[in-house]
Amino acid sequence: MNKAGPASRRTRLKLTVRGAVQGVGFRPFVFRLATGLGLTGWVNNSPQGVFIEVEGPRAELEKFLLRLEAEKPVRSFIQSLEASWLDPAGYTAFEIRPSETGGNKTALVLPDIATCPDCLREIFDPKTAAIVIRSPTAPTAARASASSSPCPTTARTLQ
């Protein structure tokens, strides 16, 4: 009988991220990072910050955790990150869940950051190659350009 070693056994990482992590492309970034590493789970906003549950082999979860801080969106700032290792829940995909609304509001929300004119042109140009960021549970989708934008926020967020 061939048992999987500890490095390949699935586990779950539960994270609470506090700081300026809302309104800066953080959830789509987490989605791309998790799916790129073959991980399952979910991410959502709450009045207390961003909650993440991500599941997979421990080695991939450790990569996820390191890259989460190192590659975060340009305008984001992680004030604190709480992590707990748990037994797997059996997630089969990764999703962006709707935001929670209850509880004390402690999350930092940056003032509106204007979209630069170059980004607006790319977003609304039907000839521009674009990707759709869609949550399976959300009724709407955000369209964002995947081309090489001069805007550091768009270029960093969509990589």
pLDDT digits (tens, 9 = 90+) for 125-145: 766 554 444 444 444 444 343
Q: What is the pLDDT of residues 42-78, one digit of tens each?
A: 999 888 889 999 999 999 999 999 999 999 988 888 9
CB-based contacts of 116, cutoff 8 Å, min separation 6: 150, 151, 154
Q: pTM of this prediction?
A: 0.64
Mean pLDDT of 144-154: 41
User: Which residues lie across from 41 on neighbouring strands?
Assistant: 54, 94
What architecture does CATH give domain 10-100? Answer: 2-Layer Sandwich (3.30)
Q: Measured between alpha carbons, how far apart are the two ends of the chain, in Å?
A: 42
Sequence ranges of the domains in the chain: 10-100, 117-157
Half-sphere exposure of 7 (CA within 13 A, CB side): 2
